[in-house]
Amino acid sequence: MADPDPSTTCPPPSSASISSPPTFCCACGAPTAALSSPPAWSDSSPPPVYRPIRAPAINAPSATASIVLSPVPQPLPVPPAEPPFRFEVPSKRISSPDDIRRFHASAAGRHFLGFIAALSHSVRGRKLSDPVPSPLPGTLSGLLSILQTLARWIDEIPPLPHTARYGNPAYRSWHARLSDEGRGLVLSLLPSDELHPAVDELLPYLLDSFGNAYRIDYGTGHETNFAAFLYCLARLGLIKEEDYPALVLRAFAAYLDLMRRLQTAYCLEPAGSHGVWGLDDYHFLPFIFGSAQLIDHKYMKPKSIHNQDILDNFSNEYMYLACVAFVKKVKKGVFAEHSPMLDDISGVPTWSKVNSGMLKMYKVEVLEKVPIMQHFLFGSLIKWE
């Protein structure tokens, strides 16, 4: 068979091939044309700007190593306040990283974090509907009554017509009513004349537990102030260690329900949200308590949050599942994209590891952050030392 004509089967060599080694046609063996290199970019023709599909968030957590290497916070007993009491109006003291280190090195800082860990430990393996002592101790019953009153005010102060995404001004009326009647609400928790002066110290914690009236926002700093309010009641002996399960499963659960209503009714803006790199735009503590509830659960694992049937049927029993269900309700799109941190945590093998990681993360991402802790209050019950 005759060889094919090179002039018809292969492109002619070009001058560009002089600058690079020639290549040959696999059919006829004749030289092929070399592709010339693209021209260099110039000022008049710059390279195109490529935008990644999901650009990295500027709020992405940078303290991953600190979280991993830090010890797991352990439960500690609350030291009782001893008479004679010297109550005072609490004030802000934290303004720098040095102040943060000073707080965590103090007895007040260690015991406050130990109180959070103790609350978490008290609800291990417990559902929200599990029985608690009945009737409830007076302080817990009073707390529930206060939270029910605050929830009723939402019905009495409906949202105003509002076009902005966040910040319904009716919230300011709700908070103004809290400021007007807050003193009486706190006094209802103080059973003796000896403790009545504590109202001046306790009231600022309560007022700052439900958001900021000027900015119409709410975040983990306000949630931490509510925890501080509970800690102060424990220091006064009004909440005992044996009350902790009921405190979480009844009182804190009611507080969370109230906050969800406030957030949706008045469109509270997330304060200091990490965006996609946060657990929830508003809360942290229910992830700690909720993961503790699920420790050693026979069937539900961290990856179970991706099962919609489980969320639908069990979010009323477990705070962690309720929080995930709320996130899925208010955020649209692919879960792994709008909540990558929760998605990553779902790959952890056990709830015990999730819980210990949440406690460490709370210390690093909330209690060690100046923008959050600069609003934390110190008085005679939580001392600045």
Question: CA 108 to CA 100: how far, in whole Å?
Answer: 12
Which residue has 């000073």 as its token pair? 102
Domain count, the chain: 1
52, part of any domain? no
Average pLDDT on 190-204 reads: 96
User: Parallel, antiparallel, or unpaired for β 217-218 and 91-92?
Assistant: unpaired
In a domain, 76, yes or no: no
Domain with 143, as residue range(s), is 94-378
Q: How confident is the model at residue 70 (pLDDT cuts 50, 70, 90)?
A: confident
CA distance 369 to 274: 12
Residue 43 belongs to a domain = no
Question: Distance between CA atoms of 333 and 276, rounded to whole angstroms?
Answer: 12
- pLDDT 10s digits, 229-241: 999 999 999 999 9
Band (pLDDT 50/70/90 cuts) for residue 62 is low
pLDDT score recorded for residue 35: 52
Of the candidate ranges 64-73, 101-110, 284-293, 372-381, the one whose mean pLDDT is the lowest: 64-73
Report the CATH number at residue 168: 1.20.120.1150
* Residue 242 included in any domain: yes
Tell whether the model's pLDDT for residue 330 goes beyond 90: no
Instruction: State the residue for tokens 């110190």.
Output: 378
Element at 250 (helix H, strand E): none
Supply the pLDDT for residue 275. Answer: 56
91, 375 Cβ separation under 8 angstroms: no
Q: How many residues does the chain have?
A: 385
Predicted structure pTM score = 0.83
149 belongs to a structural domain = yes
Q: What would the two tokens of residue 185 be? A: 């609400």
Band of the pLDDT at 68, cuts 50, 70, 90? confident
Task: Tell me whether residue 56 is in a domain.
Answer: no
**In which element (H, E) is residue 3 found?**
none
58 in any annotated domain: no
Regarding beta strands 217-218 and 269-270, do their DSSP bridges make them parallel or antiparallel, or are they unpaired?
Answer: parallel
For residues 241 and 231, give the distance between their C-alpha atoms in angstroms, rounded to a whole number: 11
Asked, for residue 304, whether it belongs to a domain, the answer is yes
